[in-house]
Amino acid sequence: MTNALRAPSRGDFKLSVKTGDAWYAGDEARQLAAAVLSYQTPTGGWSKHIGFSKGPRLPGMQWTSQNEPGQKAHYVATFDNGSTTEEMYFLANV
């Protein structure tokens, strides 16, 4: 591979307030949890705007969607604007 793959981009990670215990116990939540965990950075957090619904991180893929491959990393593992905290709340519920 000559260049890293860019992570899929999406808006901020937010869960619906209508999501309940039954959803967190289901297959959809488990698949999303696997994707969320795959993007957890080596420092323990998550980047902003990752498209978790597009599936888990692939080999050679960046941890962030906030920069082009080969450029200086931007917003890798941040607590800014709910990044990392929302993922932690989600995983705790799953």
Residue 12 has pLDDT above 90, yes or no: no
Residue 7's pLDDT is what?
Answer: 93
**5 belongs to a structural domain:** no
CB atoms within 10 A of CB 27: 7
**Contact at 8 Å (CB) between 61 and 8?**
no
2 inside domain: no
Does 3 reside within a domain? no
Task: Write out pLDDT tens, residues 56-87.
Answer: 999 999 988 888 888 887 778 888 777 899 99
CA distance 53 to 31: 9
Question: Predicted confidence band at 33 (pLDDT cuts at 50, 70, 90)?
Answer: very high
In a domain, 11, yes or no: no
What 66-74 contacts at long range (C-beta under 8 Å, 24+ apart), as own/partner pairs, is 68/6, 69/3, 69/4, 69/5, 69/6, 70/3, 70/4
Q: Is residue 15 part of a domain?
A: no
Residue 39 has pLDDT above 90, yes or no: yes
Number of structural domains the chain divides into: 1
7 in any annotated domain: no
User: Is position 86 within any domain?
Assistant: yes
Q: 19 or 59, which is more confident?
A: 59
Enclosing domain of residue 73: 21-93
Q: What stretches of the chain adopt beta strand conformation (E)?
A: none
| 4 belongs to a structural domain | no
